[in-house]
Amino acid sequence: MANTMHRFTQQTISTLTCLYCNARLSSMADLIYHLEHVRSHQVWACCGKLFRREIDFERHQDAEAKRGYHYNTIAS
């Protein structure tokens, strides 16, 4: 699965570091909790991928919507 993972997502997981804010976490559970509950920055995630920039997330949404996989919505 690691070979099919988005590069930003791979790096976040392999280093246990939130690459949005550079917070270093001590476990995968802590990283997941941080990403789910963080209030200091936005997290863009879809299809098991994390996106560093909102524009990349929007491009993903547009591409998937064109293929009929899901609607184009922006995460808050």
| Count of domains forming the chain | 1
What range defines the domain where residue 17 resides? 2-66
- For the chain, the first-to-last Cα distance in angstroms comes to 28
User: Residue 76 falls within a domain, yes or no?
Assistant: no
User: Residue 23 falls within a domain, yes or no?
Assistant: yes
pLDDT at 76: 41
pLDDT at 2: 46
Mean pLDDT, each 10-residue run in order, the chain (76 residues): 74 96 97 93 90 92 84 48
pLDDT at 26: 98
User: Residue 75 falls within a domain, yes or no?
Assistant: no
pLDDT at 13: 95
pLDDT at 3: 56
User: Residue 53 falls within a domain, yes or no?
Assistant: yes
pLDDT at 4: 64
Helices (H), 1-76: 7-15, 28-37, 54-66
pLDDT at 71: 58
User: Residue 29 falls within a domain, yes or no?
Assistant: yes
